[in-house]
Chains A and B, each alone.
Chain A
Amino acid sequence: AQSVTQLDSQVPVFEEAPVELRCNYSSSVSVYLFWYVQYPNQGLQLLLKYLSGSTLVKGINGFEAEFNKSQTSFHLRKPSVHISDTAEYFCAVSLTGTASKLTFGTGTRLQVTL
């Protein structure tokens, strides 16, 4: 079975600083990879996804992530964060060639301050 690890439960960062949220996965077969964001009192929203092709994936709101197969990682990055990026970020995987049920990590709380 596949699993997802988000080692950082909270990441505090100052506005306009860069940020990286880490995600590692474990699977014996190929996977698709996703990052979702949950703003306070809102539902989850897809930030970006990797299905195939270029390992550098660009998403909404200036976020990007890089798939590294050898390190089984899919870290999320943004070069300059804003206060409005404060939210919970979830990494998720699904198995290729199967139904789309997602396996999620435990989430990382990004707290952006002035």
Chain B
Amino acid sequence: GAGVSQSPSNKVTEKGKDVELRCDPISGHTALYWYRQRLGQGLEFLIYFQGNSAPDKSGLPSDRFSAERTGESVSTLTIQRTQQEDSAVYLCASSLSGNQDEQYFGPGTRLTVT
């Protein structure tokens, strides 16, 4: 079956604009994660969704960042009033459940804020 997909693959935006990034997880996967990868750095955890439980938002860097997930399907990550330091690759992953199952990663969205 299809893997995790993300759109757009690349996004260039002006400072101050809002952006919305989309993630389609693998069908049947109840857990979904967002990570951020800045140039030359490791991946940073942003947010985690598991079924109908309240999401773990402990990694969101500021209140400009928010994410939603519709049931156990699509998730959108929204960044409001983008800043240049938001430039990064945003990666989405999904797993069958949240219990140490393998996380399957999407190809990422490269965000450039000018």
Find residues 32-70 in chain A having any chain B CB closer than 8 Å to their own CB: 32, 36, 41-46, 49, 51
Instruction: Verify B43–A43 contact, CB threshold 8 A.
Output: no
- Residues of A in contact (CB 8 Å), total 24
Instruction: Verify B95–A43 contact, CB threshold 8 A.
Output: no
Residues on B with C-beta less than 8 A from A46 are 102-103
Greatest chain B CB density within 10 A among A4, A99, A106, A107 is at A99
Chain B positions 32 through 63: 1 when the CB is less than 8 Å from some CB of chain A, otherwise 0? 01010000111111001010000010010000
Does B100 count as interface, using CB distance less than 8 angstroms? yes
Kindly state the interface size class of chain B when it binds its partner: 20 to 34
Find residues 71-114 in chain A having any chain B CB closer than 8 Å to their own CB: 90, 92, 94, 99-107
Chain A positions 2 through 16: 1 when the CB is less than 8 Å from some CB of chain B, otherwise 0? 001010000000000
Whole-angstrom CA separation of A7 from B45 in the bound complex: 21
Instruction: Verify B105–A99 contact, CB threshold 8 A.
Output: no
Instruction: Verify B31–A100 contact, CB threshold 8 A.
Output: yes
Whole-angstrom CA separation of A90 from B89 in the bound complex: 15
Instruction: Verify B45–A101 contact, CB threshold 8 A.
Output: yes
If A101-B56, A102-B43, A102-B103 touch, whether A43 touches B48 (CB-CB below 8 Å) is no
Instruction: Verify A99–B50 contact, CB threshold 8 A.
Output: yes
Chain B positions 17 through 39: 1 when the CB is less than 8 Å from some CB of chain A, otherwise 0? 00000000000000101010000
Sample (27) of A-B pairs whose CB atoms are under 8 Å apart: A32-B100, A36-B105, A43-B104, A43-B105, A43-B107, A43-B108, A45-B105, A46-B102, A46-B103, A49-B100, A49-B102, A90-B42, A100-B31, A100-B33, A100-B48, A100-B95, A100-B98, A100-B100, A100-B103, A101-B48, A101-B56, A102-B33, A102-B43, A102-B103, A104-B42, A104-B44, A107-B42
